[in-house]
Structure 1
C-alpha cells in the first residue's frame, strides 16, 4: 500500500497539523509493515535528511523565509510538477489541509483516476467573505474528493449542509500521544520548575503556539493589565515569533516590570513541549480561529485545565469540568476569567483527571491510526 501525503508544514517545521500527522504516521509505520508513506512538504529540515520518504519543495527550513503566504502559494501551485512521479506511484493521495495545495492534489488525482482524501477543518469551511478563488477551491475539494475527513461532528454537519454526501464524509478526531503527554507527580513537577527558575508555589499559565495575531496574542497581553495578581503567577509564551506582534519581547518585559506578582517568560523554540505541560497549571488559547487545536488536547492529556476563546471548535471540546470559555477577541472577558482562576484555581484543578479521561476515550494514537488505516484500505479495495 503506497500512500502519498501532501502537508505544507511537516516537522520540524512548526505546525499543529504537521505534528499531528507525524504522530499518526509513526504509529502506522510501526505497526504495519505493508504500508509505505511518502510525504511532500514545503520546507527542508535536518530530520528530513535521515528519512528517504520526506520530499521538500524548498531547500531551506521554514525560518529562512519571511513571506510565508508567498511560499504557501508557490508550493501549492508547483509542487506536483517537481514530485509528479510520486503521484504515479501512489495508491491513495491524502491532502492534510484543505488549502490550495489540496485543490491541486484533487485535480491531479481526478486526472489519474486515483482516490483522494482531504482533511478539512472549521475555518477552511468559512468562506463567505473570502472571494471567488477560495470559493472555487472549496468547491473543487468538496465535489471531487473521494473522501473528506471531518475532525469534529460540527464540521461533519457543516459539510453535509454544503451538499457533501454523507457516505463521502469520514469523522476522524485528532490523535494525541498519551504516553508522551501525561500528568506528573508533585515532586517531579517541582523539579522541572526548578530547572526553569519557576517557584513551586506559583500559579503557572502557559500559551503554546505561534506568536501571531490570529492566536489572540494582543488580547492576552492587553488583558493582563486588568488582572489583580493576588498570588505569585507565571505566564509562559512558547512558540516561534513571526514578527506580527510589534516588539513582542520588549512588551512582555515591560509588563513583567510593572506588574506585581507576575513574571512572563518567552521560550521561542522547544523540542520537548511536554516539559512545559508538566510544570504548568493551566493552558490559555485565545485564538480567533483554529482547525482542531492539538495543544488543547495535549494539555487535557497532561491533566491541565484550559481557558479558551469561544470559537466553535473550542466549544466542541470544552467541558465545564475542566474548561472555561471567554468571548473571542474580548480582552475584558479574558481578564475576568483569568481573575476567577487566580481567586479559585480549584474550581478547575479539582476535576483535572476528567480532562485526561476525555482524551483517552476519544483521541489516543491507537484509535485514530486504526481509523486512518481502515480508510486507506477501504479506498484501495473499493
Structure 2
C-alpha cells in the first residue's frame, strides 16, 4: 500500500508532529510505503530533517499561498498520478481544500482526511471575520463531502454534529518515552534557568489568543517568585504576554526538543479555549508531569474517570486555577503517585501503536 500524507508545510506544531508519529509507526509495523507532500516552502521550525532521517520521501510543490490557489491543483494531481499513490491522506484546512479540489483528477487514489479542530476554531484569521466565516463554511462543506474522514478526538467528532456532520474518531496517540533521565543534565538545565531546588510548572503552546496564556500568567504573577513557570512557544501575543509577566515567568521561545524541559517539570498547565486532542498535554503526562487543564471537552476526554478531573477549571476562572496550583505546589505527599498515574493514562489509552492500528484499518476499509 502506497500512501501520501499531504500538508501545507512541515512546520513543527501539533498537527505535523502527530502525523509524523503516525507515519513512523505505520512505516515500521505495517506493509506500507509512505511519502510526504507539502504545498509551500518550509518555515524555520520545519520538521523536514526529521522526515528525512526516517527516510520518508518529501515532495514539495514549493508554491506561495497565492500561486498555490491557481497552480497547486494540477501540480499535485500530476504528482499523485505519477507516483500511483493508493491513498492521499490530508491534514489541515489548506491541504484538505486542495485535496478536495483534485478529487476527480486522481480517480485511482482513495481520499482520507483528518479533522484536527472544530472548523470554526480553526478558521480565526488575521484577515478578519468575513474570511473566517468563508473558511469555516468551506471546510465544513469539504468535510461533509469527503469519502473517508475521521476526527482526531471524540470531542472534535462531537463538535461537528452542530454542522450536521457525523464522523468517527481516531484519537491522537504518541510514542511513549523512556523514563531514563540524566539527573546531572536536568540539574544543569535548572541551574541555567535559575530555578534550582524549585517546583517547576510548564506551558508548551502557541502564544495565540485561543490558548489563553494570559490567565495562567495572571495566576503565576499572584503566586510569586518562589514558583517558576516556563513558557515554551512563539506566537502573535508573545510581546503582550511578556510585558504582563513577573520575573518568575520565563519565556523560552520555540524548542525543537521539549523533552529536557518536561523532565524538569512537575505541573503542566493549559487554559485553552479550544483544542483538538492536544499533543503537548499527552507528551507532558507521558513524562510524568501532572496536568492542570481547562474544562473543555478535549481535555476532559484525556483525563475522564481519573483523579485529574479534580484539577479541571473553567477557562477564565483565575481563582479556581490559583487554588489548584497553590495546593499542588505546596503538597508534600502523593505527588509521585500522581505523576505515575498521569503516565499510565497515556500508556493505556493514547499510544502511537493504537493510533496506527486504527488508521491502518481505516486505509484497508477505504471506499
TM-score, normalisation: structure 2: 0.82
CA contact (8 A) 2:285 2:346 kept: yes
SS of residue matched to 1:233: coil
1:216 is matched with: 212
**Equivalent in the alignment of 1:147:** 148
Structure 1 residue 176: Cα displacement: 0.8
Structure 1 19/330 Cα, relative in aligned 2: closer, same or farther at 3 Å? same
Check whether the contact 2:285–2:343 (CA below 8 A) recurs between aligned residues.
yes
- Structure 1 residue 200: Cα displacement: 4.9
Q: Is the CA contact 1:41–1:54 (under 8 Å) kept in the aligned structure 2? A: no
Alignment partner of 1:36: what SS? strand
Match of 2:296 in 1: 311
Q: 1:368 to 1:107 in 2, by over 3 A?
A: same
Match of 1:79 among 72, 76, 79: 72
Question: In the TM superposition, what is the alpha-carbon distance from 1:204 to its structure 2 partner?
Answer: 0.3
SS in structure 1 of the partner of residue 173 of structure 2? coil
Q: Kindly tell me: are residues 75 and 310 of structure 1, through their superposed partners in 2, closer, same or farther at Cα, counting changes over 3 Å?
A: farther
Match of 1:65 in 2: none
Q: Contact 2:77 / 2:102 at 8 angstroms: preserved in 1?
A: no
Query: How far apart, CA to CA, are the structure 1 residues paired with 2:60 and 2:151?
Result: 27
Closer/same/farther in 2, CA of residues 133 and 16 from structure 1, 3 Å limit: closer
Aligned to 2:59: 55
In the comparison of the two structures, how many residue pairs are matched? 347
The answer on whether the counterparts of 1:16 and 1:294 sit within 8 Å (CA) in structure 2 is yes
Say if 2:187 and 2:196, in contact at 8 Å, map to a contact too: yes
Tell me what 1:298 maps to: 283
Alignment of 1:32-181 (within 5 A): 32-44=30-42, 45=46, 47=49, 53-58=57-62, 78-88=71-81, 89-97=84-92, 99-113=93-107, 114-124=109-119, 131-142=133-144, 144-159=145-160, 162-164=163-165, 169-178=167-176, 180=177
Q: How far does residue 278 in structure 1 lie from its aligned partner after superposition?
A: 0.9
CA RMSD in angstroms comes to 3.1
Provide the secondary structure at the position in 1 that maps to 2:175: coil
Asked whether the equivalents of residues 190 and 200 of structure 1 are also in contact (C-alpha less than 8 Å), the reply is no
Q: Structure 2 unaligned segments of length 5 or more: list them.
A: none
| CA shift for structure 1 position 93 | 1.6
From the superposition, tell whether residues 31 and 49 of structure 1 become closer, same or farther in structure 2 (CA, over 3 Å). Answer: closer
**Tell me, what secondary structure is at the counterpart of 1:322?**
helix
- Please tell me whether the aligned partners of residues 217 and 249 of structure 2 are also in contact (alpha carbons under 8 angstroms): no
Whole-angstrom distance in 1 between the partners of 2:336 and 2:253: 27
Say which SS state the counterpart of residue 35 (structure 2) adopts.
strand
Structure 1: distance between partners of 2:254 and 2:117: 27
Q: Distance in 1 between matches of 2:216 and 2:67?
A: 33
Q: Shift in Å at residue 306 of structure 1?
A: 0.7
What's 1:245 paired with? 238
**3-state SS in 1 of match to 2:59:** strand
Q: Is the 8 A contact 2:204 2:232 kept in 1?
A: yes
Cα deviation, residue 134, structure 1: 2.0
Answer with 190-199 or 44-53: which moved more.
44-53
Shift of 1:338: 2.0
C-alpha distance in 2 between matches for 1:343 and 1:78: 58
Per the alignment, do residues 30 and 350 of structure 1 end up closer, same or farther by CA in structure 2, a change over 3 Å counting?
A: closer
